[in-house]
Structure 1
Amino acid sequence: MENNQSFEQIKEKFKAADVDEKIEIYTTVRGLTVEQYKELLRMFPIKYLDKLEKAMG
């Protein structure tokens, strides 16, 4: 339950963030499930996916 609660906080922060902040959150947050990462990715602006890919190495 605590993990889900913290994911909800991460999700809200991600939703409010600008593109660079979204990339920072996505590339530094640890301990999420594949589904949680996918959920964040669905909120990421598609036109900046190349920028996210570069940040991920």
Structure 2
Amino acid sequence: MDTNQNFEEVKNRFREADVDGKIQIYTTVQGLTVEQYKELLRMFPIKYLDKLEKAMG
């Protein structure tokens, strides 16, 4: 499976997930580029950024 297709699957799962699911995906997915992480972060609800920061340690 190519990397772009894999990222599209991750992005779709991320989009469909609740806040806790988004945090779980963001903190455990591996092999993404900085730009791909930024793209996921743009889909993350701003009001929960503190929760994401805590989860990232």
Q: TM-score, normalising length from structure 1? A: 0.98
1:28 aligned residue: 28
- Aligned equivalent of 2:16: 16
Q: Percent sequence identity over matched residues?
A: 79
Unpaired stretches in structure 2, ≥5 consecutive residues = none
Q: How many corresponding residue pairs?
A: 57
Do residues 7 (structure 1) and 7 (structure 2) align? yes
CA RMSD of aligned residues (A): 0.9
TM superposition outliers: structure 1 runs of 4+ over 6 Å: none
Question: Structure 1 unaligned runs (5+)?
Answer: none
